Amino acid sequence: MYLKQISINNFKNIEQTDLEFSQNMNCFLGNNGEGKTNLLDAVYYLSITKSFFNNTDRQNIKHNENYFIIQGHFVRKGNDEKIYCGVQNGEKIFKRNNRQYQRFADHLGIIPLVMISPTDISLINDTGDERRRYFNSVMSQLDIVYLENLVKYNRALMQRNKLLKQIKEKNDIIAVFNEQLNEYAQIIYHKRKQFIEEIQNYFTQVYAQVSNGGEQVSITYKSDLNEHNFIDLLENSFEKDCIMQHTTTGIHRDDIIMQMNGYPIKKIGSQGQQKTFLIALKLTQFNFFKQQTGIAPILLLDDIFDKLDLQRVQHLISLVDGNGFGQIFMTDSNKTRMDKILGQHKKSFSLFNVEKGKITKIT
């Protein structure tokens, strides 16, 4: 699968552009703040139906304009896929082959895509909320049962939390919500556990390939349900929940523990090691998507080479240059580094210059 052509109007600092791409590698060169990342985010929109960086659609409209439009022509399993995204006056319209979606969630998984960005560092440094959000996004794109139960769980959780603000004693309604939460949580918990177990070995292999080092890395699933019955947890935490006025236990508090050599990578990992860890995680996501769908996702690499030594850069390029990868979009502000990368690249590529939101192909 690949993106053949894109048309962008009034998206962030890109006023208007029409571009055609290589089926292999597409490189965007320019200083910081010129619009390289905005171009990648437009491609991301066509896959995930929202921005990688900003969930508020109207804030992605170019200043002094009242709409943006992104249109992409993809080739998927030999078939044309015309994807349209338009936002105006707070309303978003999303279409596939001229048919408008009633639910944006129905588009997830149609255009598989993986983005690696400097902002991924939040997965290491921020709270478990960020890690849950990431894993929920990955799993929801490929598993409609997971997504549906996640939506139901969050709805029941919101209703239980609202009730906790109004009562002081257990009642039948709380018991009903407890049963609902338990039903949805069991499905979510077992799918999360299975997912982490399935990707663990590949993740460690990719890290070793990119780093060429001796560090041992791991990702493990931390959940209240690992050792306890969820109904019992809800019953035992009721008084605390009433005081806090929200549900203090459950799969909405799960976390993914990221370690290197048995210690949190947040504490002992260098910037290069942390970045390599995140790259390995995202490439594992890529491999999982490919295994599940039979389609190599589009890979977006946004300014990921900063803080990586030359050896790690070479190992990474060698890895993504292999036959298992398809179309790649890459940004960098360092022309010398880009020249070295392209000199190492074995396949055809297209090179673009980005300046003040204007994107021109370099021939």
Q: State pLDDT tens for residues 111-158.
A: 999 999 999 999 999 999 999 999 999 999 889 999 999 999 999 999
Domain 1-112+295-363 matches domain 127-206+214-273 at the CATH topology level: no
Residue ranges in the chain modelled with pLDDT below 70: none
Query: Would you say domain 1-112+295-363 falls under CATH 3.40.50.300?
Result: yes
Q: Which DSSP string corresponds to 18-75?
A: EEE--SSEEEEE--TTSSHHHHHHHHHHHHHSS-SS-S-GGGGBPTT-SEEEEEEEEE
Q: Name the amino acid, one letter, at 246.
A: H
* CA atoms of 148 and 152, how far apart (whole Å): 6
Q: Which residues pair with 93 in a beta bridge?
A: 86
Q: State pLDDT tens for residues 152-169.
A: 999 999 999 999 998 878
Residue 337 has what pLDDT? Answer: 85
Residue 193 has what pLDDT? Answer: 97
Topology of the domain comprising 127-206+214-273:
Glutathione S-transferase Yfyf (Class Pi); Chain A, domain 2 (1.20.1050)
Q: Which two tokens stand for residue 200?
A: 């663990």
Average pLDDT, the chain: 93
Residue 210 has what pLDDT? Answer: 87
Residue 336 has what pLDDT? Answer: 86
Domain coordinates of the chain in residue numbers?
1-112+295-363, 127-206+214-273
Residue 309 has what pLDDT? Answer: 79
Q: How far is CA 341 from the centre of its chain?
A: 25
* CA atoms of 172 and 243, how far apart (whole Å): 19
Q: State pLDDT tens for residues 274-288.
A: 999 999 999 999 999
Q: Which residues pair with 217 in a beta bridge?
A: 260
Residue 127 has what pLDDT? Answer: 93
Residue 115 has what pLDDT? Answer: 95
Q: Which three-class secondary structure state does DSSP give residue 308?
A: coil
**pTM: predicted TM-score of the whole model, two decimal places:** 0.90
